[in-house]
Amino acid sequence: MASKTISFRIFLNDQLVDTRSFSQEVIKLGRLSSSHLRLEGEAVGRMHAVIEVGATGDVRLIDLGSSSGTLLNGDMIDRSHELSSGDKLELGPYRLELTIADSVAAPVHHEPTAAVASAPVMAAPAPQANVSIDLSKVEDSSEEVAEVITTYGRSILDVAHVGQTRSRRRTVLPLMAFGGVLMVGGLGLFGYEVSQPWEQHNAAVAEAQQRHAEAPPAPGLGTGSLGLMLALLGVVPFLGGALRRRDVGLDAFTIGEGSEANFKVSGDGLQDPAASALISRMNGGYALSFTPAMRGSVELGEHQLSLADLVATGRAHASDGAYHYALPSGARAKVEHGDIRFNVNLVKRGAIVAGRGEVDWPFWGYFGGTATLATAFYLLMRSMPDDALAMQMADDEAAARFASYFHQADEEQQAEPIEMDSDVPDDEAQSGESGKRAAGPEGKMGNPKEKSSQGAYAMKGPKHAVPQITRHFDPNQSARTAGILGILASTDKHFLASVDGGAFAVGNDDADIWGNLVGVDQAASYGNAGLGLVGVGRQGGGTAGGLIGMSNTGLLGHGNGTGGLYHGNQGGNGGVIGFGDRKEKVPVPRVGKGEVTGSGIDRDMIRRIVRAHLNEVRSCYNAGLLKNPNLQGRVTIQFSIMGTGKVGSSVVQEDTAKDGSVANCIAKAVKRWQFPRVVGGGTALVSYPFLLQSR
């Protein structure tokens, strides 16, 4: 393999700052301390590029994918490019001028002389050559890591740093054990407290307070909430340990054919074909492992030893078919396995540059303040006694003071009073009330244009009208009314204009004639035997809605007699039939006599409170009437009054109305009632019937 000497003239902002020469096969350019040519600047990558010398003596530049890229003679290169003497490289703010020469050239020993001759030239920019930044910002000088660069020919295949990231799996077991102990202990304490009879204890404490006696001892420690908090707190380390089980730290760089190997190579000549350690972490440093089939060397400062020399001098000891050599600080090694080369360099461990971000003080201040207020309110509520939130009223009936607003009775529409006589038998109902005078101006009857005053009026009817029997046709009555009354009754006129007309408004005459009520014949006339004594017009001047009103004769007009259902128009040309006003039913629930079992509470007080809540019963009854207007019956509610005055239970004992929704509604209403305290703290059992009916 031909050896080359590559010289660099380094310019920073077009000013010469340094001159460097290298005679090795791989030259790394970048910001890392492991780089052979280290250049500082944000535009320069940590491992910016690599210059390799091939087996045939050609020199190539390989860009490692830096963000700013690499320019060769002003052109951006893609991946790799062959170099020649005189080329110019640009890496961020730096410009590098290359000089490539063979290492066996004769003037090699005179190069120091030339360098000395040029020393005054370099002396001027010497103070400016210190462009490096503080290494403590990017390196951790307290510890070294093993950098492994895997190459194939002139290509870099992989770069790994052994010891840079450490596994935290050794803390998995302590964290999970600690979290498990907290969770088990907390859940056990919580379960013990929950299993205690706290409900019976609270009831006994309440009873002791009513009797002003000493409270019984608590069955437990009251640390159930503490146990639950410990169980929740144990979840944090338990989950943290479970997550750390997945941490994978690189403490050894292995090669082989297995899936667990860090780099896959042929297993021939390896200690373990699946995965053999090439570099492994040991106490105080790193160990290089190699087999007799491998080739390579180790550089210790100015000295270089081959792998065979390490074995021959006893520096590498054999174990399980491989040799192990502890690399000293700053050592460099090259190991070849087949066509793959591994370059191992001990460099300073990279410092953690991206640490925790700045603390968001406004957020944490708001969070802390809110948590403090919430905790304070919770502790304040916990510190209040149980009876402080209870509502105790001096007036036992005050609990129902809002019932009239929530359950208001239906508004009853008051009908206008109508004067009515008491019911009498049909045979005594001879006539209705006094017939009122006809509506309109009072005057004479008939046609004002006629001069005759002796004609009677008539009403025109159909040609085939059926003769009608008069309403009060009675032979015996006709015999008793012989004479002038019989003559008057023989004038069989229509009832709308005749006092003894038929029962239907159908005329039997041939034509309509304007005349008096009575006359010697049917002819138009105009006289005093009309509807009124004074005034002019067809009507009689009264206010009645009927056509004709004749003093106490009850045939026509308004009233409860025989003419009570017929309402005529003012003009007398027709009539309609009317009915009386509908009488609405009003729900009226009543309270029966209740039964009280037990002592310590006044029965009259119970009756007063039940009657005070009668509006709630009426509301339930109203809801049932909407579905069944004929709903009625008896509903008996049985309820128990506790020592505190509250209703413990309320059930339906009897329901003859056969409407479960109404009975359940009343039972729920009774459950909300408040009664006086029972003397002695006992329980009273009460059964009260409610009669539901409407009138």
DSSP 7: E
Whether 613 is covered by a domain: the verdict is: yes
Q: Which of 350, 369, 390 is the last residue of a domain?
A: 350
Strand partners, 138: none
Check if the beta carbon of residue 224 is closer than 8 Å to that of residue 230.
Answer: no
Over the stretch 489-505, which tens digit does the pLDDT of each residue have?
A: 555 554 444 444 444 44
For the cut 60, the answer to whether the pLDDT of residue 413 exceeds it is no
For the cut 70, the answer to whether the pLDDT of residue 435 exceeds it is no
Paired sense of beta strands 252-256 and 263-264, if any? parallel
Domain with 198, as residue range(s), is 169-244
pLDDT-based confidence at 580, cuts 50/70/90? low
Residue 24 sits in the same domain as residue 110: yes
Residue 49 sits in the same domain as residue 75: yes
Q: Which of 111, 128, 145 is the last residue of a domain?
A: 128
Paired sense of beta strands 71-72 and 88-91, if any? antiparallel
Tokens 């893609």 locate to 78
- Name the residue with higher pLDDT: 575 or 57: 57
Check if the beta carbon of residue 495 is closer than 8 Å to that of residue 530.
Answer: no
Q: What is the rounded CA–CA span in Å between residue 639 and residue 535? A: 78
Check if the beta carbon of residue 517 is closer than 8 Å to that of residue 409.
Answer: no
For the cut 90, the answer to whether the pLDDT of residue 342 exceeds it is yes
What is the pLDDT averaged over residues 144-150?
89
Check if the beta carbon of residue 686 is closer than 8 Å to that of residue 601.
Answer: no
For the cut 50, the answer to whether the pLDDT of residue 269 exceeds it is yes
Average per-residue pLDDT for the chain = 75
Residue 651 sits in the same domain as residue 671: yes
* Radius of gyration of the chain measured on its C-alpha atoms: 61
Whether 63 is covered by a domain: the verdict is: yes
Whether 92 is covered by a domain: the verdict is: yes
Hey, what are 230's tokens?
């410990």
Provide the residue type at 341 as one letter. R
**At 638, which CATH number?**
3.30.2420
Give me the count of residues in the chain.
695
Q: What is the rounded CA–CA span in Å between residue 622 and residue 589? A: 10
Strand partners, 252: 280
Over the stretch 597-644, which tens digit does the pLDDT of each residue have?
A: 877 788 888 889 998 999 999 999 998 888 888 888 899 999 998 888
Residue 258 sits in the same domain as residue 234: no
Number of domains in the chain: 4
Using alpha carbons, select from 636, 658, 647 the residue that is nearest to residue 683. 647
Q: Which residue blocks in 320-474 are alpha helix, DSSP H?
A: 361-383, 403-406
User: Is residue 482 helix, strand or coil?
Assistant: coil
Whether 674 is covered by a domain: the verdict is: yes
Paired sense of beta strands 276-282 and 252-256, if any? antiparallel
For the cut 50, the answer to whether the pLDDT of residue 210 exceeds it is yes
pLDDT of residue 495: 42
pLDDT of residue 638: 92
Whether 503 is covered by a domain: the verdict is: no
Over the stretch 468-492, which tens digit does the pLDDT of each residue have?
A: 666 666 677 666 666 666 665 555 5
For the cut 70, the answer to whether the pLDDT of residue 304 exceeds it is yes
Q: What is the rounded CA–CA span in Å between residue 469 and residue 484? A: 20
Hey, what are 525's tokens?
């006339």
Residue 103 sits in the same domain as residue 215: no
Over the stretch 156-187, which tens digit does the pLDDT of each residue have?
A: 899 888 887 766 777 888 889 999 999 999 99
User: Is residue 463 helix, strand or coil?
Assistant: coil
What is the pLDDT averaged over residues 4-26?
87
Q: What is the rounded CA–CA span in Å between residue 88 and residue 98? A: 6
Q: What are phi and psi of 147, to 5 degrees?
A: -95, 125
- Name the residue with higher pLDDT: 322 or 107: 322
Q: What is the rounded CA–CA span in Å between residue 653 and residue 440? A: 67
Residue 10 sits in the same domain as residue 109: yes
Using alpha carbons, select from 352, 298, 346 the residue that is nearest to residue 147. 346
Q: What is the rounded CA–CA span in Å between residue 262 and residue 160? A: 9
Check if the beta carbon of residue 547 is closer than 8 Å to that of residue 438.
Answer: yes
pLDDT of residue 400: 57
Check if the beta carbon of residue 176 is closer than 8 Å to that of residue 238.
Answer: yes
pLDDT of residue 177: 92
- Name the residue with higher pLDDT: 588 or 548: 588
Whether 359 is covered by a domain: the verdict is: no
Residue 222 sits in the same domain as residue 293: no
Residue 77 sits in the same domain as residue 109: yes
For the cut 90, the answer to whether the pLDDT of residue 369 exceeds it is yes
Over the stretch 79-131, which tens digit does the pLDDT of each residue have?
A: 778 888 888 888 888 899 989 888 654 443 434 333 333 333 333 344 444 44
Check if the beta carbon of residue 305 is closer than 8 Å to that of residue 295.
Answer: no
pLDDT of residue 562: 41
Q: What is the rounded CA–CA span in Å between residue 336 and residue 1? A: 15
Q: What is the rounded CA–CA span in Å between residue 344 and residue 335? A: 8
Sheet strand arrangement including 332-337: 155-162, 139-152, 340-350, 332-337, 295-300, 303-306
| Chain centre to alpha carbon of residue 680 | 48
pLDDT of residue 453: 66
Give the percent of the chain with pLDDT over 90.
11
Tokens 């079992």 locate to 597
Whether 193 is covered by a domain: the verdict is: yes
**At 74, which CATH number?**
2.60.200.20
Residue 32 sits in the same domain as residue 65: yes
Prediction pTM value: 0.33
Tokens 């003093």 locate to 551
For the ranges 380-384, 562-566, 674-678, 679-683, the lowest mean pLDDT is seen at 562-566
Residue 268 sits in the same domain as residue 231: no
DSSP per position, 222-285: S-HHHHHHHHHHHHHHHHHHHHHTT----SEEEEESSTT-SEE---TT-SSSS-EEEEEEETTE
Over the stretch 534-548, which tens digit does the pLDDT of each residue have?
A: 544 444 555 444 444
Residue 232 sits in the same domain as residue 292: no
Q: What is the rounded CA–CA span in Å between residue 92 and residue 27? A: 18
Residue 10 sits in the same domain as residue 122: yes
Whether 411 is covered by a domain: the verdict is: no
CA dist list (Å): 145 to 51, 118, 331: 23, 38, 11
Q: Which of 195, 220, 244 is the last residue of a domain?
A: 244
